[in-house]
């Protein structure tokens, strides 16, 4: 518990330094939010309130930016983000079936995080590996020519074992 509090305080301390460093940029908000998300992993309303106070701007403005850009998230993300490519080549080769298989194996919907916070199921546009379609990306790892539920299960198990 004490460690949680210390971590919490050190996150806010890091954010305070980021704000000091960025405040004089012409448009500091996006950069500050981006770094805040790196520090906290997501942008809960308390963090938005803190930034609003420090920048002396209304919370509604920050909330508007966070909800406008889909790379900002107000919900915690899993340790592993499974990005299923929904670009044209992957779509034609059955990407939506791959999404359904992951939804099935993980018991979440696209955009959601598993209850153990290990996986977030997400989507991206073309990742530049169209010849391997359909493709998914997890961190630095790219998996292509996915077809069967067994392949999906094997990928998931690999990351469960890394945990």
Positions touching ligand FES (CB under 6 A) are: 85, 87-90, 126-130, 133, 135
Under DSSP, the state recorded for 113 is B
Q: Which is nearer to ligand FES, 78 or 87 (CB)?
A: 87
CB of 138 to ligand FES, least distance (A): 14
Q: Which is nearer to ligand FES, 15 or 85 (CB)?
A: 85
- Bridge-based pairing of strands 80-85 and 119-124 is parallel
Comparing CA positions, the residue from 117, 124, 119, 112 lying closest to residue 83 is 124
- Between helix 2-22 and helix 28-40 the angle, nearest 10°, is 160
Tokens encoding 33: 């939010």
CB of 98 to ligand FES, least distance (A): 11
Q: State the DSSP string of 92-103.
A: HTTHHHHHHHHH
Gap between the Cα atoms of 69 and 7, Å rounded: 27
Q: Rounded to 5 degrees, what are φ and ψ at 54?
A: -65, -35
Q: Which is nearer to ligand FES, 32 or 99 (CB)?
A: 99
Q: Which is nearer to ligand FES, 32 or 134 (CB)?
A: 134
CB of 146 to ligand FES, least distance (A): 11
CB of 155 to ligand FES, least distance (A): 16
C-beta of residue 80 within 8 angstroms of C-beta of residue 139: yes
Q: Which is nearer to ligand FES, 121 or 127 (CB)?
A: 127
CB of 83 to ligand FES, least distance (A): 10
């Amino acid at each position: 518990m004490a460690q949680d509090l210390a971590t919490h305080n050190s996150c806010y301390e890091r954010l305070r330094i980021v704000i000091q460093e960025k405040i004089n940029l012409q448009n500091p908000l996006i950069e500050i939010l981006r770094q805040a998300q790196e520090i906290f992993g997501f942008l809960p309303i308390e963090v938005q309130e803190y930034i609003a106070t420090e920048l002396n701007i209304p919370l509604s403005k920050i909330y508007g930016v966070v909800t406008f850009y889909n790379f900002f998230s107000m919900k915690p993300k899993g340790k592993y983000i499974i990005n299923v490519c929904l670009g044209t080549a992957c779509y034609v080769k059955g990407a939506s079936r791959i999404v359904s298989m992951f939804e099935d194996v993980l018991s979440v919907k696209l955009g959601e995080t598993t209850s153990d916070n290990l996986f977030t199921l997400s989507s991206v546009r073309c990742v530049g590996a169209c010849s391997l379609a359909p493709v998914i990306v997890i961190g630095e790892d790219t998996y292509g020519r996915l077809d069967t539920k067994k392949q999906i299960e094997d990928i998931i198990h690999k990351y469960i074992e890394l945990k």
